[in-house]
Structure formats: C-alpha cells, structure tokens
C-alpha cells in the first residue's frame, strides 16, 4: 500500500488504483455521517477535490492522489457512511481509478514512512 500526506491510502489491483482514507484520518474525523462520491468516468488531476466527507466534527475533502479517471465508486458508502469508521482500510474504499502513469506511486510513502509521518 501507498500513503499520501493527506492521509489517503492507495492499493494497486490489476491495472487500477483503489483509494481510501487511513485509520488515522477516520479517527480524526470522528463519526462519518455523509459521503459525496464522484461520478464514474470523471477525469481528475492530482489534488482535485474528488470526495466530500462530513462527520459530526467537520467536513473534509478527499483529493485525487494521482492523475487519472474514476472508473468505479463504492456506493455502499452512500448508504452506510459509518463504514469508513468501521473498516477504513478495507470495505470503505472510496473510488477506483485508472492511472496514466503507475510510476507516480513511487513518490508516495510506504507504511513505515506514513507511520513516522503521523508520529
């Protein structure tokens, strides 16, 4: 898995990149009450706002970690946004994207670097 400074995780599955938020981010946000997912087929650039998450504490944006196209979203989060708190690294992925250049993942943190980043 790869990690961003914005507390997102990325996992490569075949030729797609699956994106979610880390357990640390889910804990910081508190109870998630609403998730607004992007449209499938949307082309995004790195750092574009892609997902809006609302919790009892605040609203937060999830940014596109890489350039690419959103090819699938996790509709289960619309019906059950609390899944983000229950299983942030598994069932609560936000979207899958087709990335033009997988080598861009090399610029992200691995798990050890992320753990050091969050202290």
Q: How confident is the model over 39-66, as pLDDT tens digits?
A: 999 999 999 999 999 999 889 999 999 9
In a domain, 64, yes or no: yes
How many Cβ atoms from other residues are within 10 Å of residue 50's Cβ? 22
Counting the structural domains of the chain, the total is 1
**pLDDT(100) > 90:** no
In a domain, 80, yes or no: yes
In a domain, 75, yes or no: yes
Going by pLDDT thresholds of 50, 70 and 90, the confidence category of residue 19 is: very high
Counting Cα atoms < 13 Å in the Cβ hemisphere of 15 gives 6
The domain containing residue 39 runs over which residues? 2-100
In a domain, 48, yes or no: yes
Q: What is the pLDDT averaged over residues 98-105? A: 92
pLDDT for res 56 = 92
Average pLDDT, the chain: 95
Separation of alpha carbons 34 and 31, rounded Å: 9
Per residue in 55-96, pLDDT (tens digit) is 998 899 999 999 999 999 999 999 999 999 999 999 999 999
pLDDT for res 97 = 98
CA–CA distances in Å: residue 17 to residues 12, 21, 108: 5, 13, 13
Dig out the tokens for 108 from the structure. Answer: 């992200």
In a domain, 115, yes or no: no
Looking at residue 5, what DSSP letter applies? T
């Amino acid at each position: 898995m790869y990690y961003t400074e914005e507390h997102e995780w990325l996992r490569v599955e075949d030729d797609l990149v699956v994106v979610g938020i880390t357990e640390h981010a889910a804990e910081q946000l508190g109870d998630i009450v609403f998730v607004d997912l992007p449209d499938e087929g949307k082309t995004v650039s790195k750092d574009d706002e892609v997902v809006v998450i609302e919790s009892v504490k605040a609203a937060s944006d999830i940014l596109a970690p890489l350039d690419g196209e959103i090819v699938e979203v996790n509709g289960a989060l619309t019906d059950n946004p609390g899944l983000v708190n229950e299983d942030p690294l598994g069932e609560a992925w936000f979207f899958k994207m087709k990335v033009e250049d997988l080598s861009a993942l090399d610029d992200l943190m691995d798990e050890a670097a992320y753990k050091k980043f969050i202290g």
